Amino acid sequence: MHKIIERIELAKEIIQIKVEAPQIAQKAKPGQFVAVVLDERGERVPLTIADWDKDSITLIFQKVGFTTQKLADLKPGDFIAHILGPLGHPTKVDNFGTVVCIGGGVGIAEVYPVSRAFKEAGNRVLGIIGSRTKDLIILESRMKSVCDELFVTTDDGTYGKKGLVVDVLRGLLDVVEKSTHTKYPELVYAIGPVLMMKAVADLTREYKIRTIVSVNPIMVDATGMCGSCRCTVEGKTVFGCVDGPDFDAHTLDFDELLKRTKLFKTQEQKADGKKPS
């Protein structure tokens, strides 16, 4: 049993909780995740570890499905039945030079610990975060504190630059292309909706800039035993849970990933009490 010690609504539909999990907190590294089971009837849901201290881990999630909705309803003092972790390979962090860290939607929460690690490793970190609209921009100040420069976008232009995160990245790369004294970033790291990560990958492929994305496929056990999270990288099947979650963006099959994340759409609606569309 893991006690919730803090709950903050970061934005509409986006919740941050701090949960007691000392053993996981001591082991957590950037890019890793946990598998959460709310109660004895609950499903196993993977959530990125957004932050951690000595005794607790921070999880940030969007109310998108049955379980995240229920998780959002928990209050400080409530308990989560089971948390397993840390899971997945940590993000490979080194002093690469300049790293662009991109977070879209709730992916901002997930890119934050990675950006911080890149900064601590001595990189120049350029952050790009984006959401649909102003109310959904989260962790701006935290990201600012670990980035040399931070760019913010909204799809509807209600905050920051109007447009998509990939537009900002394109702008940055354009500047380098036209200039004589700046150089391309050594690495781009992106996490967010599949289509966003795909757009980033398509762009950086043109420039041959190494790009890593963190995938969030459907999982059950999250320890390599079911294969629900399988993805294709370099034409080979890999498991998101134990081979990832970070993969080379230029050889990952995003179309397949997108299709596989839609497998349970009708069931989700049924669990929510909505009519399947």
Partner 1 sequence: MAKSLPKQLISERVKNFFEVGLGFSEEEARKEAQRCLQCKNPACVKGCPVEIDIPAFIKLINEGKQKEALEKIKEKNNLPAVCGRVCPQEDQCEALCVLNKKKAPINIGALERYASETGVSLAGLAVNRRQATGDRRQIKVAVVGSGPAGLTCAADLAKMGYQATLFESLHVAGGVLVYGIPEFRLPKNIVQNEVDYIASLGVSIHTDALIGSTYSIEDLFKDGFKAIFVATGAGLPQFLGIPGENLDRVYSANEFLTRINLMKAYKFPEYSTPVNIGDKVAVIGGGNVALDSSRVALRLGKEVTLVYRRSEKEMPGRFEEIENAKEEGVKFNFLTQPVRILGDKDGFVNGLECVRMELGEVDDSGRRKPHEIKGSSFILNVDTVIIAIGQNPNPLLTRLTQGLKTNSNGTIRVDDHLMTSIPGVFAGGDIITGADTVIKAMGAGKKAAVEMDKYVKAVIQDLKG
Minimum distance from residue 193 beta carbon to partner 1 (Å): 17
Confirm or reject binding of residue 13 to partner 1 (CB under 8 A). no
- Of 6-14, 141-149, 158-166, 223-231, the window that binds partner 1 (rule: CB under 8 A) is 223-231
Query: Which of 78, 159, 226, 250 lies at the binding interface for partner 1 (CB under 8 A)?
Result: 226
Please answer whether residues 102 and 151 qualify as being in contact, where contact means their C-beta atoms are separated by less than 8 angstroms.
Answer: no
Query: Which of 162, 205, 270, 274 lies at the binding interface for partner 1 (CB under 8 A)?
Result: 270
Confirm or reject binding of residue 3 to partner 1 (CB under 8 A). no
Q: Which residue type occupies 276?
A: P
Long-range own/partner contacts, residues 74-78 (CB < 8 A, 24 or more apart): 74/4, 74/7, 74/17, 74/38, 75/4, 75/7, 76/4, 76/5, 76/6, 76/7, 77/3, 77/4, 78/3, 78/4
Q: Which is nearer to partner 1, 29 or 142 (CB)?
A: 29
d(CA 209, CA 4): 41
Q: Which is nearer to partner 1, 163 or 224 (CB)?
A: 224
- Of 23-31, 165-173, 175-183, 191-199, the window that binds partner 1 (rule: CB under 8 A) is 23-31
d(CA 198, CA 146): 25
Confirm or reject binding of residue 195 to partner 1 (CB under 8 A). no
Please answer whether residues 20 and 79 qualify as being in contact, where contact means their C-beta atoms are separated by less than 8 angstroms.
Answer: no
Confirm or reject binding of residue 46 to partner 1 (CB under 8 A). no
Site size for partner 1 (CB under 8 A): 42
d(CA 118, CA 22): 24
Query: Which of 3, 13, 63, 82 lies at the binding interface for partner 1 (CB under 8 A)?
Result: 82
Minimum distance from residue 215 beta carbon to partner 1 (Å): 13
Please answer whether residues 110 and 42 qualify as being in contact, where contact means their C-beta atoms are separated by less than 8 angstroms.
Answer: no
Residues near partner 1 (CB under 8 A): 23-24, 27, 37-38, 41-44, 66-67, 81-87, 220-221, 223-228, 230-232, 237, 242, 256, 259-260, 262-264, 266-268, 270-271
